[in-house]
Structure 1
Amino acid sequence: MPYVKIDMLEGRTPDQKAALARAITDAFVEHAAAKRESVWVVFDDVARKDWAIAGELLEKPAK
């Protein structure tokens, strides 16, 4: 059972997530011989205040 967990910044629409889930599932079916019904895709939306790059939060805390 392929399980794909995607952590990404919040803000994508349900339609965008649905398109991503279809594309990821299609890729597993085509390239990894997976059965469509066995592919799980989970989105974890992360707030900008909870994401840091190079040691810096994307959303700076209020002073």
Structure 2
Amino acid sequence: MLHIAAGRSEEQKHALLVNVTQAIAASLDAPLESIRVVIQEVPETHWAAGGVTLAERRAAKKS
């Protein structure tokens, strides 16, 4: 399962799924059909490091 901050386009998420699947297949010598990848999007207000949310960090960068 991949946890990412919400806000990426469908195209970006699809590319992530394809690339991660290929990396796992190559790393484990596993058939592509056996690999399952799930993206879970986390709202910016629910993702924090050092007590500061991603939303707060992005807002601070803009100002």
Fold agreement, TM-score > 0.5: yes
Deviations 1:19-62 (A, max 9, x none): 111111111222211110111111111111111110122335xx
Structure 2 regions of 5+ residues with no counterpart?
Answer: 57-63
RMSD: 1.3
SS in 1 for 2:30: coil
TM-score, normalising length: structure 2: 0.76
Structure 1 residue ranges without an equivalent (≥5): none
Question: Which structure shows the higher strand fraction?
Answer: 1
Identity within the alignment, %: 32
Residue 38 and residue 54 in structure 1: after superposition, are their counterparts in 2 closer, same or farther (change >3 A)?
A: same
The 4+ residue runs of structure 1 with deviation greater than 4 A are none
Does residue 15 in structure 1 map to residue 11 in structure 2? Answer: yes
TM-score, with structure 1 as normaliser: 0.76
What secondary structure is seen at the aligned counterpart in 2 of 1:7? strand
